[in-house]
């Protein structure tokens, strides 16, 4: 097992990501959150959480967490594997050739060439 404490400012979010080697359990300590979880074959679910709630993400399922409240969101997260692994959507996109992405998404290659190639911090709304 391994774990972490996640803090998200009001209006912020944890980038879309998935854990290839572990399921994730969450205990919401404070704040208000909205989490969307999705799997293959169009399976998706969005739920709201508050202090005292527990969330779960199956291994390999994509998910992101938004702070939808006015206060800092605090979550205790536990994984059922001692080796933490996470793949963010930014890292996944950056690991593919721009031409491949452009062809599959039907947009200009330069769009992907201009995208970040490393971790991205998504600021709270209205702040840069």
Tokens of 111: 């769009």
Residues of the chain with CATH 2.60.120.10: 2-85
Residues 6+ apart with CB under 8 A from 41: none
CATH for 2-85 is 2.60.120.10
* Cα–Cα distance list, 10 to 37, 93, 102, 113 (Å): 20, 27, 34, 31
| Start-to-end Cα distance in the chain | 36
Query: What mean pLDDT is predicted for residues 8-26?
Result: 94
What pLDDT shows up at residue 115? 84
Do 31 and 69 contact (CB within 8 A), yes or no? yes
> Residue 111 pLDDT more than 80?
yes
Percent of the residues in the chain that have a pLDDT greater than 70, as a whole number: 92
Burial of residue 27 (CB within 10 Å: 0-12, 13-18, 19+) is: middle
> In this predicted model, what pLDDT tens digit does every residue of 62-104 receive, in sequence order?
999 999 999 999 999 999 999 999 988 888 888 899 999 999 9
pLDDT at 2 over 60: yes
> Cβ contacts of residue 114 below 8 Å, gap of 6+?
none
């Amino acid at each position: 097992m391994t774990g972490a404490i996640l803090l998200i400012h009001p209006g912020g979010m944890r980038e879309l990501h998935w854990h290839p080697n572990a399921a994730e359990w969450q205990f919401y300590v404070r704040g208000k959150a909205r989490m969307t979880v999705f799997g293959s074959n169009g399976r998706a679910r969005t739920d709201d959480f508050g202090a005292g709630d527990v969330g779960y993400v199956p291994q390999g399922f994509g998910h992101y967490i938004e702070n939808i409240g006015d206060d800092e969101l605090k979550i205790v997260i536990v994984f059922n594997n001692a080796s933490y692994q996470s793949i963010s959507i930014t890292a996944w996109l950056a690991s593919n050739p721009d031409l491949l992405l452009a062809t599959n998404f039907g947009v200009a290659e330069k769009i992907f060439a201009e995208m970040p190639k490393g971790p991205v911090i998504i600021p709270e709304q209205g702040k840069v």
